[in-house]
Amino acid sequence: MLTVYEDSNHIFDALSSGATGYLVKTTSREDLINALRAVHSGGSPMSGNIARKVVQSLQQPRKTVVEASEDLSKRENEVLGLLAQGYLYKEIAENLGIGHQTVNTYIRRIYEKLHVHSRAQAVAVVTKLGRTLPPAT
């Protein structure tokens, strides 16, 4: 992955989606060529600051899923409930009277808090905990 994004969400989304490495566009030409060679040889090159973020993330104690799910706000629970019922982002926005980008922000926060990467994973986590989600309004 060669990108301008250096935030944890983009890093872990790319890596969990199958990226072999993660380099930022400020990588020098020489380092980029060496990284391509490394990938070809089976390596997983990462920019130094990206590797540091990955290591720091792995060193931090993670909340249990139960603790993380308790961190969801009332609105995040509403959004998650609508997601679980199969609503599209546009429909969630209309139903809750909020903007599409706001829905995206809520969903990103839900995924972060639950340590998941998809709608199905988020719903599965909450279902596994035996929590009921609020019905659509």
Query: Residues 17-38: what's their mean pLDDT?
Result: 92
Per-residue pLDDT, averaged over 85-92, amounts to 90
Greater pLDDT, 131 or 81:
81
CATH classification number, 65-128, choose in 1.10.10.10, 1.10.1040.10, 3.30.1330.50, 1.10.10.410: 1.10.10.10
* DSSP annotation string for the chain: -EES--SHHHHHHHHHTT-S-BEETTS-HHHHHHHHHHHHTT---B-HHHHHHHHHHHHSPPPPHHHHHHT--HHHHHHHHHHHTT--HHHHHHHHT--HHHHHHHHHHHHHHHT-SSHHHHHHHHHHTTPPPPPP-
Q: What is the pLDDT of residue 56?
A: 75
- The confidence band for 7, taking pLDDT boundaries of 50, 70 and 90, is confident
Mean pLDDT, residues 7-28? 86
Structure confidence at residue 130 (pLDDT): 63
Domain range annotation of the chain: 2-59, 65-128
